[in-house]
Amino acid sequence: MSTSTDTAVVTAAEQTSRAREILGVSRLTNQALTRWLHGLPGVDQVGCEARAAGLGTRSIKTTAKAWAIDTAISMIDLTTLEGADTDGKVRGLVTKALSPDPSDPSTPHPAAVCVYGDKVAVAKQALGTSEVKVAAVATAFPSGRASMPVKLADTQDAVSAGADEIDMVIDRGAFLSGDYLTVFDQIAAVKEVCGPARLKVIMETGELVTYDNVRRASWLSMLAGGDFIKTSTGKVSPAATLPVTLIMLEAVRDWLELTGEQIGVKPAGGIRTSKDAITFLVAVNEVAGEQWLTNTYFRFGASSLLNDLLLQRQRMATGAYSGADYIADDSPSLY
């Protein structure tokens, strides 16, 4: 099985060639992509939502809950994506990532800090030799409304500054108008510019209207070279719903079976409580499988979630809730 952590640079031409092989066509055209994507099984909306509701009723206790809380902390992309971001704010975010709970050094670190591209160097310097990654949003985040030269330059700037991961947004207008080849070409081009940096493809599921579109966008994103498929920018509602995440988990599971390649999933926006996070982890285990229960293949795009997980962790350790003022409430956004 190959993994999406391989650092070999994949060119857009190579990605197109691979896509042709998967589709079984001699030339990658919009017609071929449309036929293939619309040939995917339709989503049973009632069944999907019923399954999500059932997962939401699950309850785990004691050692399993403690493991889930630590795992969820280790999967967070701690995020600040505001126009008012300053170097000091980014350094504060890094401090929180390096020491989530100063009273307990055994607390896991989040997986990454996620910032705008112009703050990558600040975050990278503040992290030093830490294993915490730096993720940068790019490609005219959050709208994606820019020319390709601008999108590629945006990505290249972040990679050159040291970004370990790139979170790009697809052109939802092109996708919704059925111009799948344009979306494919843009993802493949960004993937090439990423070099060794991992690419998370944001579909902005709140704008895709239907579950069938979520499934098609998931497969298109993987086909074009995404290392992760991601629900949302956190700027559009609804964001990371459980039904949408279930569809994405089914897609990566089926992609692994088809290609032998494991792709990650990142729900982002609106996940704020430990109970929510644990429900998502139950879904990961039951739909995709336990091999996705690692921050290599599953992330939460969140900031306020971390504080609730820390409070729950302290309660399990001491038997009582700490006051909220014992946790630094420096969440920079509702992302």
**Overall number of domains in the chain:** 1
Does 36 fall in a domain?
yes
Residue 263's Cα: distance from chain center in Å? 11
Token code pair at residue 15: 């990605």
For residue 224, what are the domain limits? Answer: 2-74+135-302
Roughly how many angstroms between the first and final C-alpha of the chain, as a whole number?
33
Residue 273 is part of a domain; what is its CATH number?
A: 3.20.20.70
Catalytically annotated residues: 167, 230, 266
Tell which wins on pLDDT, 322 or 59: 59
pLDDT band at 60 (very low <50, low <70, confident <90, very high): confident
Does 325 fall in a domain?
no
Does 113 fall in a domain?
no
**Nearest-10 Cα torsion for 303, 304, 309, 315:** 140
| Exposed / middle / buried, residue 25 (Cβ in 10 Å: 0-12, 13-18, 19+) | middle
- Non-local CB neighbours of 167 within 8 Å, separated by 6+ positions: 114, 135, 136, 137, 138, 141, 200, 202, 230
Does 228 fall in a domain?
yes
According to the model, what pLDDT value does residue 61 have?
A: 81
Token code pair at residue 283: 């879904």
Does 126 fall in a domain?
no
Contact predicate 225/10, CB 8 Å: yes
pTM: 0.93
Among 8-12, 52-56, 78-82, the range scoring the smallest mean pLDDT is: 8-12
